[in-house]
Amino acid sequence: MSKTNESQTFAPDPAFVAQANASDPSIYAQAAADPEAWWASWADKLDWFEPYGTVCEFEAPNAKWFLGGKLNACYNCVDRHAAVDPNRRAIVFEGEPGDVRTITYGELKDEVSRIANALKSLGVQKGDRVCLYLPMVPELAMTMLACARIGAAHTVVFGGFSADAVHERANDAGAKLIVTADGGWRRGKPVPLLDIVKEAMEKGCPTVERVLVMKRTGHCDFSWGNLDYVGWDDLVPHQSTDCPCEPMDSEDLLYILYTSGSTGKPKGIVHTTGGYLTGVMATSKLVFDLKPDDLHFCTADLGWVTGHSYIVYGP
């Protein structure tokens, strides 16, 4: 038998099984026997501002989860952990040029709150959409969480995409604000993100009112057109760290993420709050066996759903 047709089974070490989050062999049967009770048991591990009533309302092809409940994604990902141990590491970042940063949950909460207040000062409100076109830096994850904190939906555009992609996604989502950087690094080369945003804006983005620009490569040129550009360093550091989390209905929009467009026009996939958080939390613990003191390395880009789910919202 060739290796390609060979079937092999590798049993996990018994000591590993004993300490794993998924250590009960009957776990699948329990989920299959009563899916609503199964998912409710995971939803109950989240912090809810108001409890849900109905676990799932399903009318093919649509499912609505945890109806009546109110919660906030940022609170569940940041605040509740910061309250338990603000000095526990939340993000360990190694940038392409070699810069390294470790950010604790306490620091993360403060910075996310500053960004959230900065967004509010730029007119972003609950229900608005914000387009994020940033390099792979902690500020991208922080801005995603800041949007969630105030109830604005984010749509992240992969940092390797073109001006056409930024233009198409910002318009389709109806983005009020674009958050970008002067540039980023990809495979050792600088990527002129701000220039790409400028090109996208020239194509026409009628809903975009302002562009918030952070420095990454060290060159910000704001001398372009009549659009209102705001420098990150001129705004974010001066904001208060006091920014309460907005209570969101379980079915409220958390983010829109677009397909690549390789088979046609990119499709915006809507992710709502309660059901999505429950799903990615459960899979983080069951599939990746994540525990509070683990260091989880995810190679995905935040521009794709794996990065959203298993860098920001799941762990």
Residue 214: CB atoms within 10 A of its CB come to: 23
Q: Which residue has the higher pLDDT, 72 or 24?
A: 72
3-state helix, strand, coil in the chain (%, to 5): 35, 20, 40
Answer whether residue 1 shows pLDDT above 60: no
Answer whether residue 274 shows pLDDT above 90: yes
Which pLDDT does position 262 carry in this prediction?
A: 79
Answer whether residue 224 shows pLDDT above 70: no
98-99-101 Cα angle (round to 5): 140
Q: What percent of the chain has pLDDT over 70?
A: 96
Distance CA 205, CA 238 (A): 29
pLDDT band at 16 (very low <50, low <70, confident <90, very high): confident
Q: Please state whether beta strands 54-59 and 62-67 pair in parallel, antiparallel, or not at all (unpaired).
A: antiparallel
Distance CA 168, CA 185 (A): 23
The pLDDT of 270-298, averaged and rounded, is 96
| Burial (CB count within 10 angstroms: exposed 0-12, middle 13-18, buried 19+), residue 96 | middle
The pTM assigned to this predicted structure is 0.94
Distance of CA 171 to the CA centre of its chain: 20
Number of separate helices (H) and strands (E) present in the chain: 12, 15
| Tens-digit pLDDT profile for residues 192-220 | 999 999 999 999 999 999 999 999 998 76
The pLDDT of 119-136, averaged and rounded, is 98
Taking the C-alpha atoms of 25, 37, 310 and 231 in order, what is their torsion angle to the nearest 10 degrees? -170
Domains defined for the chain, CATH in brackets: 25-313 (3.40.50.12780)
Which pLDDT does position 223 carry in this prediction?
A: 62
